[in-house]
Structure 1
Amino acid sequence: MLSGFLIVFGLQVVVFSFWGDVAAAAHQWVTVSSYGYCLLIPPLTLYILWSKRAGLRDLAPDVWPWGLGVVALFAVVWGLAAVAGIAEAGQFAVVGVVQGLLATLLGRRIYRRLWLPFSLLWLLVPTGEFLVPALQSATAVGAGGLLGLSGIPIYRDGLTILVPSGSYVVAPGCSGLSFLLSALVVALTFADLFFARWAKQILFVLATLAMSVAANALRVFLIIAVAHATGNVADIAEDHLLYGWAFFSLLLLGALAVGYRFRDDPPSQPPGMPEILGTRITLSRTLWSLALALVAVVVGPLALGRAPPDAGTARAVVMPPLSCGGFTPSARPSLWRTPAALPGVDGLTVLECERDGRVVHVVLAVLERPVRWGKLAGVERWLIDRDLWTRLEIAPATARIDGRDEPVLAERIGQGGSRRLLWSLFWTGGAWRRPGLDTLLADVASDLTGRRRAVALLVGADEDATEDAVKPGGANPGGGDASALLRDFLAGSPLRALLGGPLDGGFPQTSDNAEGR
């Protein structure tokens, strides 16, 4: 009873201390359909814990001091995520703090028996978007293969499926991410309730996840096949999400029925008094452990709450004039979003340069104190409208800038039959870096030493149809002519004049912009 009361109290303190992260996650639960399953996790976890109460009669809660280390570790992770502005990492850290608190107050033995229902709490974090490109490809390949087997004439171009009755695109919303995550929650719950052996639990979860991926490809195939057979009279594609969930629910129920036939009988529970394992529980020991855990929880939010008031304020930066170098200025429409759509960017220069009819789209974005509030993380994605373009391939590459080979991230995006190659890199910590963990760590170090500025450079070019076979990780990363075009532009660009100068703090500033992130 005492441990239960203290756990409830501790969870309330955690939620209050990290309210921003909790509220952001809850907002996605109710606004993003892929994460609606999160609303089921708290009641499912409580039900599993209640159903296991008889199996815990031989144990009693015992304070586990090493759980305090888990709390402190994830509190540090949360602090780094808050400084770097990585919301997803911060939310995972909050769940890690909760796990450490539970392990501390319940003890290692009880926590180990309840690890599976406690593991469901990790799924409260809205995550999984990194799986969308792979799921889209798997769905397109699977649906295309089934269409071919059914005898329907088909031509598949990446994520676009062409049949005589029309054209269909496997958009991010059709990737089946929501099916996969929902299947994971249901499979973990079922496996914990009806299987006693780990091998069965793991096998059932993996089989259910594979079924969800295959079911999504089958769903897309059926939608296209029915639309083709009826000449789109039923307009089934308009209601594909409703039909998809009904179809997926039937398959999931079938999987549960099969799994139920192989269930394990619950083990008999020996009568007797609970055994207090390890050291004897005392009120003072438990309260001291809770107090130390909560101190580790609240220190980070209180410290970051004292950050300078202008930490997240966007500043208007006077950008230096840039030219196209050996290329010719072009009047083609810009590839990039407008500055009004990027409140976290403090300065933006957009160029459209042309050579021999090929256009290079260039954007240079300056971010003051980028590590704070997550200005740096993901800015290369903000500049492209991801609702219209789908990532096809991504790989590291190199480009020659100022006579040196510098790291870039090569990304191919597609829309219908159009393909574009994007290269992105950052200047932070006195060097060019690819987007990723290395950039974030260098940016944190720059922030600590007072060099609070970063520059994001993105260049893009349209690809020819003949370049589809060239992979980003090949000898010529990211495409044939488009790759060579971008290399030539960066090798002869005037950007080297900025190295060691304005990039490290030489851009003059105008008045503060009231709009912050």
Structure 2
Amino acid sequence: MRMQTRLLWWFGAFTLLSVFLWPSFASIVAIWERSETFTHGFLVVPIVLFLVWRKRHGLHVLQYGTDWRALPILAGNGFVWLLARLVDVLVIEQLAAVLMVPILVWLVFGLAAVRYLAFPLAFLLFAVPMGEWLVPPLMDFTASFTVFLLRLTGIPVYWEGTFFSIPSGDWSVVAACSGIRYLIASVFLGVLYAYLNYRALWRRLLFIVLAALTPILANGLRAYLIVMIGHLSDMRLAVGVDHLIYGWVFFGLVMFLLFAFGNLWSDAERPSLTEAEPPAFEMRATPSAPVRETLGLTLGLLLLVVWPLLGIWIEARSAVDRAWTGPEIASELAGWSPVGTDLSAWTPQFLDASETWRQDFAQGDEPVGVYLALYGQDSGEMVNSEHVLVVQKDPVWRSVAQTSRSVDLGGETVRVTEARLKSTTQSLLVWDWYWTNGYQTASPHLAKLHEALTLLGGGRLNQARIALYTPIELDEEPARARLERFAHELLPRLEAHLRALTENQDD
């Protein structure tokens, strides 16, 4: 097949990719625009084009050929994209969409081209806004590291989760203080620097590891210094916008030292600005017969478009029309009386639900409450990192402890997330879990998996996020026993009403 014809196939495949997976690519750009953490995404494509241009001389000597081995990879990646699209796992959906590019290069131009362009194609993954799952552990590390240094300094600290107090004031580590921005920016620059400045693989890997570890440790030190500046200045400095300014100045200094150190142990002979032709083993590609090549490329294009079309069909037939009857449940509970006054001023943040239901109950002088958020294919996603029991920087409430616990919920043992919430006037014990077409779990990953299996099996999606809560006095055990008794009474009736939503739609 002539190179001009092969390029036409490539542009055709890329056009179909852009059209049918446009929502995935548009969501990537939208995150670049609104999130300072991923603003570097706008630089990824220009950098990739520059890296390909450096290899332009070697591209002239490669032997190209359609590679059928890319077809099962293309099909598998498309299936992963479809699953992620159906269950709203945006980062996996975006990752699968971006991975389509190197897979199509493999299919259209052959394995030799993919090997030769391995780094530029792999660098495309930095376009995907991923890594936010690291925020909670980074927050915990920053808090513990800061407290450790404060105590090492001799300052008394009261520490509770990501909140700590010293004699001069109260501090908390929020998402912006986790260091995720520094980490992602450092790894992004570190990977590029290592590739451009080293030839030895071990040098490249070592520098990348340093680029990942340095910002984590530096962010902990930055947080400690900010607390110390605030403490020594009687809370006049490093508590406002200068807090962020100090952080970025400190990060810039750390990155300068990191690259200066990396420059000391660079290879004796660095890669040139323009790379020469590829090694001999990368030029070995067996040309295919024209008919076989055309058939392989045609199958590839079909595999590219079948998944988006299948997704549209599944989403169209899986919507559930809701007729929620929450008030009827309140009248069916024996021994628990609905109360009109609010048990607590706390409200979880479960966004974009199609319906919500909240009701407080009492059995004698023992109060409990239930908060229910309904989700389906016609609403937002039930499993989302933005759905939280307490938002960061809440002026009243904070989550001081959270764990997973197995409890007996209406005759079925289920793992729930148990959280202890605290305000200046009240402490709450909260049990929180997911319900998907009768399947109950506290794991967001298992909830997503069951959602995918339901949709692929042709079922209609019916989901709920359930939270039970009760006040804590002196001991948590009476509160747990109270929630368990209430769950035994509530959940069989609640599940019957939830199941009826789907059954009525099927009828």
Q: What TM-score do you get using the length of structure 1 for normalisation?
A: 0.82
Aligned to 1:459: 468
Q: Aligned-pair distance for 1:79? A: 1.3
Partner of 1:332: 343
- How big is each residue's C-alpha offset from its partner over 1:347-377, in whole Å with a ceiling of 9 and x where there is no partner? 332122356877533123333xx25665433
Q: Quick check: 2:352–2:381 contact (8 Å CA) kept in 1? A: no
Report if aligned partners of 1:22, 1:91 keep a CA contact under 8 Å in 2: yes
Q: Hey, what's the Cα distance between the residues in 2 that align with 1:415 and 1:120? A: 46
Q: Select the residue among 107, 110, 116 that pairs with 2:110.
A: 107
Whether 2:481 is the aligned partner of 1:488: answer: no
Q: Runs of 5+ in structure 1 lacking a partner?
A: 468-478, 511-517
By how many angstroms is 1:309 displaced?
Answer: 5.9
Please tell me whether the aligned partners of residues 48 and 193 of structure 1 are also in contact (alpha carbons under 8 angstroms): no
What's the CA shift for 1:234?
3.7
CA distance in 1, matches of 2:265, 2:58: 21
Task: Indicate conservation of the 8 Å contact 1:364/1:457, yes or no.
Answer: yes
Could you tell me how far apart the structure 2 residues matched to 1:111 and 1:205 are?
22
Alignment correspondent of 1:245: 248
Pick the aligned partner of 1:397 from 405, 413, 431: 405
The CA deviation string for residues 373-401 of structure 1, in whole angstroms up to 9 with x for no partner, is: 65433399267545637766655422213
Alpha-carbon distance in structure 2 between the residues aligned to 1:260 and 1:135: 28
Are the equivalent residues in 1 in contact too, given 2:58–2:278 (CA < 8 A)? no
Kindly indicate whether residue 383 of structure 2 is the aligned counterpart of residue 377 of structure 1.
Answer: yes
Instruction: Name the count of aligned residue pairs.
Output: 491
- What CA distance in whole angstroms lies between the structure 2 residues aligned with 1:12 and 1:80? 22
Task: Choose 320-329 or 33-42, whichever is displaced more.
Answer: 320-329
TM-aligned CA deviation for residue 293 of structure 1: 2.5
Structure 2 matches for 1:74-473, cutoff 5 A?
74-264=77-267, 265-266=269-270, 276-280=283-287, 288-306=295-313, 315-319=322-326, 320-322=328-330, 326=335, 329=339, 331-337=342-348, 342-345=351-354, 347-354=355-362, 359-367=367-375, 370-371=376-377, 375-378=381-384, 381=387, 385=391, 388=394, 395-411=403-419, 421-447=429-455, 448-461=457-470
After TM superposition, the structure 1 stretch with the greater mean CA deviation from structure 2, 15-24 or 297-306, is: 297-306
**Kept in 2: contact 1:312–1:372 (CA 8 A):** yes
Secondary structure of the residue that 1:381 maps to in structure 2? coil
Write the deviation string for residues 135-179 of structure 1: whole angstroms up to 9, x where unpaired.
001111122222233344433322123223221111111111111
Amino acid at match of 1:457: I
Q: Which moved more, 1:177-186 or 1:120-129?
A: 120-129
- Deviation string for 1:325-351 (max 9, x for gaps)? 54564532353358xx84432x33212
Unaligned stretches of 5+ in structure 2?
A: none
Work out whether 1:42 is the aligned partner of 2:45: yes
Amino acid at match of 2:124: L
Shift, 1:134, TM fit: 0.4
CA contact (8 A) 2:55 2:276 kept: no
Q: Match for 2:500: what amino acid?
A: G
Distance 2:502 2:458 in 1: 19
Q: Secondary structure at the match of 1:167?
A: strand
> How far apart are residue 185 of structure 1 and its match?
0.8
CA separation of 1:110 and 1:380: change in aligned 2, threshold 3 A = closer
**Residues 50-59 or 38-47, more deviating:** 50-59
CA separation of 1:148 and 1:315: change in aligned 2, threshold 3 A? same
Judge conservation of contact 1:165–1:231 (CA < 8 Å) in 2.
yes
8 Å CA contact 2:320, 2:460 repeated in 1: no
2:307 counterpart letter in structure 1:
G
Q: Hey, what's the Cα distance between the residues in 2 that align with 1:233 and 1:453?
A: 52
* Contact 1:426-1:456 within 8 A present in 2 as well: yes
Amino acid aligned to 2:131: G
What percent identity do the matched residue pairs reach? 25
Q: What amino acid is aligned across from residue 462 of structure 2 in structure 1?
A: R
Q: Secondary structure at the residue paired with 1:210?
A: helix
Code of the residue aligned with 1:440 in structure 2: it is: K
**Is residue 2:507 matched to residue 1:504?**
no
Answering whether residue 20 of structure 2 is matched by residue 23 of structure 1, we say no
Deviation string for 1:90-136 (max 9, x for gaps)?
Answer: 11110122231122234223323433332222222222222111000
Number of the residue aligned with 1:32:
35
TM-score by length of 2: 0.83
- Whether the 8 Å CA contact 1:335–1:361 is kept in 2: the answer is no
CA distance in 1 between counterparts of 2:345 and 2:423 reads 16
Give secondary structure in 1 for the equivalent of 2:298: helix
User: Residues 309, 420 of structure 1: CA spacing in aligned structure 2 closer, same or farther, 3 A cutoff?
Assistant: same
Aligned counterpart, 1:470:
none
